């Protein structure tokens, strides 16, 4: 009976050592990749936070610029109303002017591109900044005569003044 007991103990030790050896390999195969993924996650979170801060700074700068500009108004010149609006970053800005009933909508889209330096190298990063302004047109402006011209950073919008119907005198 003694040899069977010794054989059983030896067999149990062999199985246990074998399982223990496999367990160590599993730890190595599982925990090292998990640590690498955690480090990658931290690096991505740092990059996202940096980008968020840069975007906040650019947005804040854009708001400060917009706050400094007076709201454009129509000025009567002879028989037409004229609105002149200066627009920054002229070469990077697209302007759209629309008239909806008695409201003039001015939309601008500015594409801002920055060189970014990261661990993987240098690349261009860009985003678009959109602004919209809505103005009432003068009550005696003829909305069917809307004309707009955008050049050299200056938007010029014109509307003809409506002709007042004259009544024959008695």
166 is a domain residue: no
Domain end marker among 68, 86, 109: 68
Q: Choose one of 43, 68, 93: the last residue of a domain.
A: 68
Q: What is the pLDDT of residue 166?
A: 60
Give, for 71, the enclosing helix (H) or strand (E). Answer: none
105, 141: one domain: yes
Per-residue pLDDT of the chain (170 residues; tens, 9 = 90+): 566 777 777 667 666 665 555 555 656 666 777 888 889 999 999 988 888 887 777 777 666 666 656 667 888 888 999 999 888 777 888 999 999 888 999 999 988 888 878 788 888 878 888 888 899 999 899 989 999 999 888 999 999 998 876 666 65
User: Considering the entire predicted model, what is its pTM?
Assistant: 0.53
**What gap in Å lies between CA 151 and CA 162, rounded to an integer?**
27
What number of CA atoms fall less than 13 Å from residue 164's CA on the CB side?
A: 6
Indicate if 64 and 75 belong to the same structural domain. Answer: no
Angle at CA 160, nearest 5°, toward 158 and 163?
170
The residue segments making up the domain with residue 83 are: 71-160
Whether residue 86 is found in the same domain as residue 49 = no
CA torsion, ordered 117, 121, 124, 126, to nearest 10 deg = -60
Q: What order do you get walking across the sheet with 154-160 strand by strand? A: 75-77, 80-86, 154-160, 147-151
Cβ atoms of 75 and 83 within 8 Å: the answer is yes
In this prediction, residue 12 carries a pLDDT of: 74
Dihedral sign of CA atoms 31, 32, 38, 41 in order? negative
CATH number at residue 80: 2.60.40.790
What does the block give as tokens for 21?
A: 């050896």
Strand partners, 105: 98, 134
With respect to residue 3, please indicate whether it lies within any of the assigned structural domains: yes
Count of the separate structural domains present in the chain: 2
pLDDT of residue 80: 92
Dihedral sign for Cα atoms in the order 65, 146, 165, 101: negative
Task: Write down the pLDDT at residue 24.
Answer: 58
Q: Is the separation of the CB atoms in 106 and 97 below 8 Å?
A: yes
- Check whether residue 30 and residue 82 sit in a common domain: no
Reference 159, options 71, 100, 77, 86; nearest CA is: 77
Q: Is there a single domain that holds both residue 84 and residue 57?
A: no
The predicted pLDDT at position 122 comes to 84
Q: What's the pLDDT score for residue 17? A: 62
Domain assignment present for 36: yes
Q: Does 169 map to a domain?
A: no
Asked, for residue 22, whether it belongs to a domain, the answer is yes
């Amino acid at each position: 009976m003694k040899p069977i007991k010794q054989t059983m103990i030896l067999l149990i030790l062999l199985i246990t050592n074998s399982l223990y050896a496999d367990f160590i390999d599993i730890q190595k195969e599982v925990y090292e990749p998990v640590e690498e993924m955690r480090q990658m996650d931290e690096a991505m979170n740092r990059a996202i936070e940096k980008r968020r801060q840069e975007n906040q700074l650019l947005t804040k700068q854009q708001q400060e610029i917009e706050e400094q500009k007076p709201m454009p108004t129509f000025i009567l010149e002879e028989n037409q109303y004229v609105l002149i609006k200066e627009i920054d970053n002229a070469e990077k800005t697209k302007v759209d002017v629309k008239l909806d009933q008695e409201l003039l909508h001015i939309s601008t889209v500015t594409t801002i591109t920055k060189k970014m330096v990261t661990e993987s190298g240098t690349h261009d990063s860009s985003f678009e900044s959109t602004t919209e302004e809505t103005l009432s047109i003068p009550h005696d402006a003829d909305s069917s005569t809307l004309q707009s011209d955008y050049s050299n950073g200056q938007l010029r919008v014109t509307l003809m003044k409506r002709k007042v119907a004259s009544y024959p005198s008695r």
